[in-house]
Amino acid sequence: MDKVAMMIKARRLFKDICDLPTIPAIVSKVVALLDDQNSAPDEIADLMLVDQVLAARVIRVVNSPLYRTRNPILSVKRALMLIGFKSMREMILTSYFVEGFKKKEQPFDMKMFWIHSFSVGALSRYIGQLGGFPDLEKAHLVGIVLDIGKVFLGHYCKDEYGEMLETIKNTNCTTHEAEYEYFGTTHCEVGLCLAQRWHFPSEYCDIISHHHFSELATEDPFLTAIVSLADYYCLSRSTLEGIAQVGAPGRSEENAWRVLSEFAPDLTSVSLIRFLDDLDEVYGSVCKEVNLLFNTMTVT
Ligand SMILES: [Fe+2]
């Protein structure tokens, strides 16, 4: 697969679309401030209050069962102090991602898609913790937004994408390979275009672009390895019939396992297959967390 040609095709798909979901400029500014640990909480809270939709959303989510607060949180600044910069950044980007595509028609079940995305996020956090990754909120967030290209292709190329999913049912063809056959590009390149349009930080863009070719990631190979393995696990274990298919672990997963082992040598005592099998034990509790997040983020 020629990455440059695939990027050209992906950009061409974007060219004529004028109703792309957007993230308001003010929200991008808030996220940039939250990325900087030296930012002043007052400055961030003031900026958040300029966007009433954002402020209301933050108050709603922080008072949901997800955060288990004892007393109601009524101010944005208190919400920020309570959950911290990193969790706030994660919550804001996740909610805009969900919101942006909520009402867009898809040829697949969006509920299953969200559940899958949130599962990859939760499992990325877990694998990150096992491997000693320093920013677990980032691992969680990148895991959630990994497949944004799929919702783009599903909506803007609905009929073709639906036909493609139908064609590969009960075959060994992976979704990634089928996308390449049908569109000359995949959800990775399309996801990169969308992530750039939304001004996601560059390492998120690199991971979205390379999560099925982890060996090509340059910005943060450790995080790429974590989310690639979480994604592979969730794809191989859950019943995502009609949305996605994977084969046996391939070069990308083997590379991710090697990179993870470099950063976390304790994990090397088992094989990749055994590591994936062991994740079955925690997957039940991950699913509980995912349901909570799903209900909180998708409430109207
Ligand atoms: Fe993917």
Domains defined along the chain, listed by start: 3-21+105-297 (1.10.3210.10), 24-103 (no CATH)
Which tokens hold the place of 237? 């274990």
Q: How confident is the model at residue 226 (pLDDT cuts 50, 70, 90)?
A: very high
Give the pLDDT score at 266.
Answer: 80
Q: Is the pLDDT of residue 290 over 80?
A: no
Q: Which of 11, 85, 3 is nearest to 48 (CA)?
A: 85
CA 90 to ligand 1 center in whole angstroms? 20
Q: Which uninterrupted H or E stretch holds 41? A: helix 41-50
pLDDT at 25 over 60: yes
Ion ligand 1: residues, CB < 5 A: 147
Taking the centre of ligand 1 as the mean of its atom positions, its distance from the CA of residue 146, in whole angstroms, is 6
Task: Report how far ligand 1's centroid is from the alpha carbon of 28 (Å).
Answer: 24
Evaluate whether 182 touches 160 at the Cβ level (below 8 Å).
yes
* Mean pLDDT estimate for the chain: 86
Among left, alpha and beta (phi > 0; psi -120 to 50; other), residue 199 is: left
Alpha-carbon distance of 215 to 12, in angstroms, equals: 26
User: Is residue 239 predicted with pLDDT exceeding 70?
Assistant: no
Whether the per-residue pLDDT at 26 is higher than 80: the answer is: yes
Q: How far is the CA of 293 from the centre of ligand 1 (A)?
A: 20
The yes-or-no verdict on residue 211 having pLDDT over 90 is yes
Provide the pLDDT for residue 256: 94
pLDDT of 150 above 70: yes
What's the pLDDT at 241? 59
Tens digits of residue pLDDT in 107-125 = 888 878 888 888 898 899 9
Higher per-residue pLDDT: 110 or 46: 46
Q: Which amino acid is at 130?
A: L
Give residue 298's pLDDT.
Answer: 67
What confidence tier does 43 reach under pLDDT thresholds 50, 70, 90? very high
Question: In this structure, what are the phi and psi dihedrals at residue 4, rounded to the nearest 5 degrees?
Answer: -65, -45
Is pLDDT above 80 for 294? no
**Weakest mean pLDDT among 38-42, 132-136, 290-294:** 290-294
The stretch 6-19 carries a mean pLDDT of: 86
Q: Please, are residues 86 and 137 in contact by the beta-carbon 8 Å criterion?
A: yes
Show Cβ contacts of residue 77 under 8 Å, excluding neighbours closer than 6 positions.
41, 42, 45
User: If you measure from the C-alpha of residue 185 to the centroid of ligand 1, how many angstroms do you get, rounded to a whole number?
Assistant: 13
One-letter amino acid at 43 equals E
What gap in Å lies between CA 291 and CA 293, rounded to an integer? 5
Q: What's the pTM value of the predicted model, to 2 decimals?
A: 0.84
Question: What does the radius of gyration of the chain's CA atoms come to, in whole angstroms?
Answer: 19
Under DSSP, is residue 64 helix (H, G, I), strand (E, B) or coil? coil
Kindly tell me if the per-residue pLDDT of 159 is higher than 90. Answer: yes
pLDDT of 300 over the 60 cut = no
pLDDT at position 130 over 80? yes
Ramachandran region, residue 44 (left: φ > 0; alpha: ψ -120 to 50; beta: rest): alpha
Report whether 119 contacts 287 (CB < 8 A).
Answer: yes
Q: What are the tens digits of pLDDT across the range 241-265?
A: 556 777 778 899 999 999 999 988 8
Distance from Cα 286 to the centre of ligand 1, integer Å? 19
Contacts (Cβ under 8 Å, ≥6 apart) of 144: 94, 97, 117, 118, 120, 121
* Distance between Cα 264 and ligand 1 center (Å): 24
